[in-house]
Amino acid sequence: MTYEFDPVKWEKKREAKRKDKARELIEISKFLKKCGYKYIVAQYQGCGDSGEAMESEGYKTKKDFDKSYYDGGEYIKKTDWVDGKSIPIPKDKWTWSRNQIEVQNCMDKYNACFGTKIELEYLLADLIGYDWYNNEGGQGRVVLDIRKNIVYVEGEQNTNAHIQIESTRYLDNSKPFEERVGNEVIDRGW
């Protein structure tokens, strides 16, 4: 059996899935608007073969949203680290600062109403058009602007740069060691 990969067909499938998820987000946006939100933010980071999105942040005013920033995200603090062990904190003592619990409560109501199990942060991350989780990965944030009914990504894709290097060493030392870095020839004189 041979395996043939068609990158054009693959990308078309990915784009079709992103369009389906965008349509799904229309109804969710209406529900989030009823909960009072104008902006939802999902911060993400990835590397290797995996990536994750932090719990969705919610902003009810433009002023609060404008104060938000990308800093790698904030998880809801649900545990304490004591003597090298993760100890659960009672739910009423969890800490957060970006309305993550409130957004989650709103999504819990949505999921209960419509019989779904949507994790909003991953739905938003699925709309990212570039590879942010493989190889060197990437990071950033996905912003759902409920007022304008748009999603935009403020992100970075990490790459591993390289420069072509060629070198020639005559084993009998009849000529000096020569190295070419890019288009520049460097005579080491060794």
Q: Is the pLDDT of residue 185 over 80?
A: no
What is the per-residue pLDDT for 11?
A: 85
Q: How confident is the model at residue 72 (pLDDT cuts 50, 70, 90)?
A: low
Q: How confident is the model at residue 35 (pLDDT cuts 50, 70, 90)?
A: very high
Q: How confident is the model at residue 14 (pLDDT cuts 50, 70, 90)?
A: confident
For residue 165 the two structure tokens come to 């290097």
Q: List the chain domain ranges.
A: 7-69+97-158, 160-190
- Answer positive or negative: Cα dihedral of 36, 148, 27, 129: negative
For residue 26 the two structure tokens come to 């229309």
Alpha helices (runs of H) in the chain, residue ranges in sequence order: 7-34, 62-67, 100-114, 120-125
Could you say which DSSP state residue 175 is in? S
CA distance 107 to 120: 7
* Reported pTM: 0.77
